[in-house]
């Protein structure tokens, strides 16, 4: 009996040292337990009840717990299930609304992302001349443009350093998106025409000029600064009458052959009168009247023109649905490679971007960083880009070239050029075959 009493005493002493909480740590001192009026002979059921009451930590209300607490029958109550259904349905509705808003709300921004490349070696077709297919690749670079993007596309662009965000008015110049699309398609058409002429001239061909002038630009306004420093704008009427790539055959009955022929006729008109233009559009000819407006020191209708040519060799260029003027230099080099013996690229992959005019002058382009990403992804070893002109945009241009060099990495030669002859020299120094040209740098 004494031994048993000692055992009961040891049991009481053990409980007075403290008890374990739900997380395994001491939850109360021995004094706290003494205040509970627990006798040494308390039943195991009573001890468990007190422990459950005192040791349970804070938690969510029973009707917000999951799995839902059971009733006496062990199943969730209908009230608990109804509350959870409301929460799930409400959250789903909010997500759907947010998704729809992000999809359908448009913002006045365009995005430019890295696109891809087209190997022009297989996209040049020539008739009436011998061709010499190359072993390397001349890569046309393009970017993916999204116009008037939604909120999700804008968010993606902000999170991706490879994507540029540009205000839509800076892309369209204040024109409609339809007009901007027409202009971009026309830019590619004119770029192809200039590439044919520049390439053939570089190879020694004579390319005759034909009557008519192509519409290559239709500025919407003429802006000037007054003596007081105030900038004023005058609306130009040709924007509302002509379309990009219209051919002007005649003006006031006079055939046009030189780029300044139309200017001479316009200046002979008084402001407010109209000049009658004979234009060819979509295979048909008809007359249109364009008013003449006065600007400081001049009279204008507001149109930029280019001469028309008849190449002695039929050259086809397949650029898929790519638009814009920046493929001009790449197409010119691809034509030269097809029409001259040897391998212009030296068997390498060469990425090229830049505009071209019929005289072989290379012009600047946009989205150079995105094109550098595409060049790197295509495995280009040489990247020919336009050199920066000495104008107000030179600093920004130099910054773009520096960024492009970082994008392609140190294993790629980035070569800025100003002329077609310089581009041919870069290829020659990179291991390509020489080309005898009639132009100089």
> In the listed set 255, 278, 309, which residue is the last one of a domain according to the structure?
309
The predicted pLDDT at position 62 comes to 53
Number of domains in the chain: 4
Say if residue 44 is in the same domain as residue 22. yes
Q: Which residues of the chain have pLDDT under 70?
A: 1-76, 437-441
Task: Give the model's pLDDT for residue 4.
Answer: 41
The pLDDT score that the predictor gives to residue 175 is 87
Are 326 and 385 within one domain? yes
pLDDT of residue 241: 97
* CATH number of 259's domain: 2.30.42.10
Q: What is the pLDDT of residue 33?
A: 37
- Say how many C-beta atoms besides its own lie within 10 A of residue 430's C-beta: 17
pLDDT given at position 61: 53
**Same structural domain for residues 361 and 430?**
yes
Please say whether the beta carbons of 404 and 417 come within 8 A.
Answer: no
Tell me the pTM: 0.76
Query: In whole angstroms, what is the distance from residue 265 CA to residue 72 CA?
Result: 100
Tokens (6 digits) for 416: 């800025």
Q: Which residues pair with 385 in a beta bridge?
A: 416
**Domain boundaries, position 70:** 63-104
Which pLDDT does position 395 carry in this prediction?
93
Please check whether residues 226 and 348 belong to one and the same domain.
no
149 and 199 within one domain: yes
CATH number for 202:
3.30.230
**In this structure, are 337 and 411 located in the same domain?**
yes
Do residues 101 and 75 touch, judged by C-beta distance below 8 A? Answer: no
Contact residues for 136 (Cβ-Cβ < 8 A; gap 6+): 121, 343, 344, 345, 346, 347, 348, 349, 350
Q: Are residues 344 and 428 in the same domain?
A: yes
> Do both 323 and 424 map to the same domain?
yes
Query: Distance of CA 225 to CAs 140, 222, 296, 304, 351, Å?
Result: 40, 10, 10, 21, 41
Taking the CA atoms of residue 26, residue 31, residue 37 and residue 38 in that order, the dihedral angle to the nearest 10 degrees is: 40
Do 203 and 319 share a domain, yes or no?
yes
Tokens 């717990």, residue located: 65
Determine how many CB atoms are found less than 10 A away from the CB of residue 127: 9
In this structure, the answer to whether residues 288 and 321 fall within a common structural domain is: no
309, 335, 361 - which closes a domain: 309
- Enumerate residues 6+ apart whose C-beta is below 8 A from 25: none
Could you tell me if 189 and 229 lie in one domain?
A: no
Angle at 96 between CA 93 and CA 101, to 5 degrees: 125
Let me know whether 439 and 334 are in one domain.
yes
Instruction: Report pLDDT for 66.
Output: 53
Strand partners, 222: 234
The burial of 233, by beta-carbon neighbours within 10 Å (0-12 exposed, 13-18 middle, 19 or more buried), is given as exposed
Distances, alpha carbon 219 to alpha carbons 16, 133, 174, 236, 277, in Å: 94, 41, 10, 7, 18
Residue 44 corresponds to which tokens in the numbers above?
């195991």
Structure confidence at residue 73 (pLDDT): 54
Q: Within 27-136, where are the H helices?
A: 30-34, 44-55, 78-104
């Amino acid at each position: 009996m004494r031994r048993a009493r000692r055992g009961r005493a040891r049991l009481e002493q053990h409980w007075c040292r403290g008890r374990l909480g739900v997380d395994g740590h001491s939850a109360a001192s021995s004094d706290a337990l003494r205040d509970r009026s627990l006798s040494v002979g308390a039943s195991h059921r009573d001890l468990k009840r007190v422990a459950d009451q005192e040791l349970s930590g804070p938690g969510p209300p029973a009707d917000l717990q999951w799995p839902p607490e059971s009733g006496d029958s062990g199943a969730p109550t209908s009230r608990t299930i109804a509350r959870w259904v409301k929460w799930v349905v409400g959250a789903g509705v909010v997500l759907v609304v947010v998704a729809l808003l992000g999809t359908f709300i448009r913002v006045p921004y365009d995005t430019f992302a890295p696109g891809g490349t087209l190997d022009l070696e297989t996209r040049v077709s020539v008739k009436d001349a011998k061709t010499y297919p190359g072993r390397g690749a001349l890569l046309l670079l393009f970017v993916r443009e999204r116009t008037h993007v939604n909120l999700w596309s804008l968010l993606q662009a902000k999170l991706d350093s490879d994507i540029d965000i540009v205000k839509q008015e800076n892309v369209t110049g204040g024109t409609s998106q339809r007009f901007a699309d027409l202009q971009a398609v026309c830019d590619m058409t004119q770029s192809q025409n200039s590439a044919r002429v520049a390439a053939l001239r570089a190879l020694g061909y004579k390319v005759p000029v034909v009557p008519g002038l192509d519409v290559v630009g239709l500025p919407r306004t003429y802006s000037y600064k007054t003596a007081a420093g105030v900038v004023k704008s005058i609306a130009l009427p040709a924007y509302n009458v002509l379309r990009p790539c219209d051919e002007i055959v005649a003006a006031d009955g006079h055939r046009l052959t030189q780029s300044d022929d139309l200017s001479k006729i316009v200046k002979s008109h008084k402001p407010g009168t109209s000049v009658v233009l004979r234009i060819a559009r979509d295979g048909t000819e008809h007359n249109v009247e364009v008013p003449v407006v006065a600007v400081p020191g001049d009279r204008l209708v507001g149109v930029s023109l280019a001469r028309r040519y008849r190449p002695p060799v039929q050259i086809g260029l397949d650029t898929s649905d790519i638009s814009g003027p920046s493929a001009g230099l790449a197409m010119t080099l691809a034509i030269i490679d097809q029409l001259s013996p040897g391998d212009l690229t030296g068997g390498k992959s060469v990425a090229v971007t830049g505009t071209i005019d019929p005289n072989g002058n290379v012009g600047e382009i946009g989205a150079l960083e995105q094109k550098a990403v595409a060049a790197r992804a295509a495995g280009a070893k040489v990247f020919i880009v336009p050199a920066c002109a000495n104008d107000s945009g030179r600093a920004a241009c130099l910054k773009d070239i520096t960024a492009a060099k970082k994008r392609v990495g140190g294993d790629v030669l980035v070569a800025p050029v100003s002329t077609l002859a310089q581009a041919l020299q870069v290829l020659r120094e990179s291991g390509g075959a020489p080309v005898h040209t009639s132009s100089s740098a």
